[in-house]
Chains A and B, each alone.
Chain A
Amino acid sequence: MSYILETKGVGIQFGGLKAVNDVNFTAEEGQITALIGPNGAGKTTLFNLIAGFYSPTAGKVYFKGEDITPLKPYQRTRIGLARTFQNINLFQDMSVMDNALVGQHCRMTYDPISAMLSLPNKHRQEKKSRADIMEILDFMGLADFADVKAGGLSYGKQKNLEIARAMATKPQLLLLDEPASGLNTQELDELSQRVLAMRDMGITVVLIEHKMDVVMSISNKIMVLNFGESIAFGPPEEISADPHVIEAYLGKEDEEDA
């Protein structure tokens, strides 16, 4: 099995509340896997467990077959696991380029002393990183805004910068937390195209999303969470026909959409 990401019986308990309980999530390399479920189902909590922001109270997380449960978030980013945030979490006062360069942090190696003395290895790495980032910014439609402060961008562009910054870490697995929320129809379409393009670049994508049309059209596989537990896991056509899912999720979603 070529699971790049696998959680085995992973769970976390906050006081008496089991926010995530016994979840066996898998993501196959080179595919797009979605995580859906009603509000409060534990989707973001599961992301935080995968990215290392929470330590599970039960179970383990495997990345490329290795147990990464004890690793800290920054260590997981280094080995190729990046994430975006549901609420925009940019460095508001820094430029778009600098935001993305922070993403390149762990792909550069020069130390603070070379930095202060401006040694040749600094120039070499900075030049390469900036060139790499311009490609990513171009891909995310931000190339013209490299020098603009992140806080000055429109909402849709800030969402794009979230993704660009995560891509700058050169991930093998990218966790996108509600990338489509708040986007207009054109931006939604661009997002779907970009996520598919990322997959074609060889990045495995796992996304949390409420917009069902986006999820159904681009995902290879979908997991449905409800009250912290996985109630269904399979390809989109199977999920949309699953009676548990319709009861727990899709039915309500339709009412909400009206």
Chain B
Amino acid sequence: MKKNQSNLTAAVGPNLAQRVYSVSRVWVILVLALVFPFLGANNYLLHMANVSMMFAILTISLNVLSGFTGLMSVGHIAFFGIGAYTTAILTTTYGMPIWLGFIAAGVVSALFSLLLGLPTMRLKGMYFSVATLAFGEIIYQIIKNWESVTKGTKGITKIPEITIFGFSFKSYDRFYYLMLLGLILVIVLTYNLKNSRSGRAMLAIRANDIAAEAMGVNVVTYKLVAFMVSAFFAGIAGAFYAHEMRYISPETFASVESSTLLAMMVVGGIGSIPGAILGGTVLTILPEVLRFIGDFRLVLYGAAVVAIIIFAPKGIGGLIDYLDELFSGKRHLHTKQLAKEAESNQDGSGEEGQA
């Protein structure tokens, strides 16, 4: 009886509303993002939006490593710092153009991940995490103490604003659009990677590295590729940060900040790209919203993170996936497939039980 019902709904397929939803969802979000600065957002709100997008990129970058291959980096803020300092040093001390600073930020960061990855990629789980923890601390100490290059605790000031063909992106609303473009690019590149030979290899490694190896995946190579892509994105996020704040100092890149990043990923749901964006945004804004209650906000912040982990173990991303399937009518499709399977199992009249 139940089976017939689900077959019936499946025959109808997704209805008009569901189809409209499926086609329009991305565009609606994009339009909302585009008109946001016109909705009376002041500079403070725009700045928060910009920082949220930087952390969204950072969380996506962490997801490429931890969400795709399952390797947990607990020193990821270091790559953000390497990116920020690379472009800051190149564009201030050496007066190089900003576009070069951006590329260098990503490339140098990726090179550092290669340097760290080559000896550590054969390490399993926790041992790799410990190595990244140490790496995060080392980078922080270098930034803080190598005064001749990084200006030490004084930080680097007067980092140039971004101008493209004389058009300045100094104001927060203009920077917002540049940031949005950067975020969209990272999202598209990450989705393309996920749905490719390389991305599937990474997901396979996370799911079952022995089976992945048996399928011809060079496990060490693809962990390394994921690490480098991850570090590249984190470096780019760092470059955005440097040119938006126009002042950077070591404290932003202290290794404790890596745990904020981890929280963003977990709250968003490990492996989920929309989750990473929302996790980055929510945990950037939450401490600000809670600012009025003073230091007690840190307690609330912690409680909120724990609550999400307990009540939504797949994070915000899991909730989004569920709603998305519900609205687009894909849940019916699954019911249909399960019904079909139940049917074929009945046909296969199981005389012998399953061992």
Chain A interface (Cβ < 8 Å from any Cβ of B): 51, 53, 72-74, 77-78, 82-83, 85, 89-94, 98, 101-106, 108, 110-112, 115-118, 122, 125-126, 144-145, 147-148, 152-157, 165-166, 168-169, 181-187
| Docked-complex contact B207 and A112, CB < 8 angstroms | no
> Is residue B309 within 8 Å, beta carbon to beta carbon, of the partner chain?
no
Query: Would you give the shortest CB distance from B337 to chain A, in whole angstroms?
Result: 5
Q: Which of A102, A122, A154 contacts B212 (CB 8 A)?
A: A102
Contacts of A183 in B (CB 8 A): 352
Q: Which of B197, B203, B345, B349 contacts A108 (CB 8 A)?
A: B197
Interface centre among B207, B229, B338, B351 (most CB of A within 10 A): B207
Complex CA–CA separation, A153 to B342 (angstroms):
10
Known: A94-B200, A115-B199, A156-B348. Contact between A148 and B215, CB under 8 A? no
Interface centre among B204, B216, B218, B345 (most CB of A within 10 A): B216
Complex CA–CA separation, A35 to B337 (angstroms):
37
| Docked-complex contact A85 and B214, CB < 8 angstroms | yes
| Docked-complex contact B192 and A117, CB < 8 angstroms | yes
Q: Which of A94, A102, A187 contacts B217 (CB 8 A)?
A: A102
Q: Which of B210, B337, B354 contacts A144 (CB 8 A)?
A: B337
Q: Which of B192, B201, B345 contacts A102 (CB 8 A)?
A: B201
| Docked-complex contact B204 and A184, CB < 8 angstroms | no
| Docked-complex contact B193 and A116, CB < 8 angstroms | yes
Known: A91-B208, A102-B201. Contact between A184 and B341, CB under 8 A? no
Contacts of A169 in B (CB 8 A): 215-216
> Is residue B35 within 8 Å, beta carbon to beta carbon, of the partner chain?
no
Complex CA–CA separation, A103 to B341 (angstroms):
24
Interface centre among A112, A126, A154 (most CB of B within 10 A): A112
Contacts of B196 in A (CB 8 A): 110, 112, 115-116, 122, 126
Contacts of A105 in B (CB 8 A): 197, 200-201, 215-217
Chain B: which residue is nearest A149 at the CB level?
B334
Chain B interface (Cβ < 8 Å from any Cβ of A): 189-190, 192-193, 196-201, 203-204, 207-208, 210-219, 225, 229, 333-334, 337-338, 340-341, 345, 348-355
| Docked-complex contact A78 and B216, CB < 8 angstroms | yes
| Docked-complex contact A112 and B225, CB < 8 angstroms | yes
Q: Which of A101, A103, A148 contacts B337 (CB 8 A)?
A: A148
Contacts of A74 in B (CB 8 A): 213-219
Q: Report, nearest first, the 8 A-B pairs whose CB atoms are least far apart.
A: A106-B216, A115-B196, A77-B216, A91-B207, A182-B355, A112-B198, A89-B211, A184-B350
| Docked-complex contact A154 and B210, CB < 8 angstroms | no
Contacts of A115 in B (CB 8 A): 192-193, 196-199
Complex CA–CA separation, A106 to B217 (angstroms):
7
Complex CA–CA separation, A117 to B214 (angstroms):
28
Query: Would you give the shortest CB distance from B314 to chain A, in whole angstroms?
Result: 11
- Using A105-B197, A105-B217 as known contacts, list a sample of 5 further A-B pairs with CB atoms less than 8 Å apart, ordered by residue number in A: A82-B214, A89-B214, A101-B197, A112-B225, A154-B341
Known: A105-B201, A115-B196. Contact between A157 and B341, CB under 8 A? yes
Complex CA–CA separation, A156 to B345 (angstroms):
9
Query: Would you give the shortest CB distance from B190 to chain A, in whole angstroms?
Result: 8
Query: Would you give the shortest CB distance from A184 to chain B, in whole angstroms?
Result: 4
Query: What would 25 A/B residue contacts be, using CB atoms closer than 8 Å?
Result: A74-B215, A82-B215, A89-B210, A91-B203, A101-B197, A102-B200, A105-B200, A106-B216, A115-B197, A116-B189, A116-B190, A116-B193, A118-B192, A125-B197, A126-B196, A144-B337, A144-B340, A152-B334, A153-B341, A165-B215, A181-B355, A182-B354, A184-B348, A184-B354, A185-B351
| Docked-complex contact B197 and A110, CB < 8 angstroms | yes
Chain B: which residue is nearest A145 at the CB level?
B337
Complex CA–CA separation, A109 to B216 (angstroms):
12
Known: A112-B225, A118-B192, A187-B348. Contact between A101 and B211, CB under 8 A? no
| Docked-complex contact A186 and B348, CB < 8 angstroms | yes
Complex CA–CA separation, A154 to B341 (angstroms):
8
Query: Would you give the shortest CB distance from B194 to chain A, in whole angstroms?
Result: 9
Complex CA–CA separation, A104 to B193 (angstroms):
16
Complex CA–CA separation, A103 to B208 (angstroms):
13
Chain B: which residue is nearest A188 at the CB level?
B352
Complex CA–CA separation, A125 to B200 (angstroms):
14
Chain A: which residue is nearest B198 at the CB level?
A112
Known: A89-B208, A94-B200, A184-B351. Contact between A103 and B215, CB under 8 A? yes
Complex CA–CA separation, A103 to B204 (angstroms):
10
Q: Which of B204, B338, B341, B345 contacts A91 (CB 8 A)?
A: B204
Contacts of A51 in B (CB 8 A): 214
Complex CA–CA separation, A22 to B156 (angstroms):
68
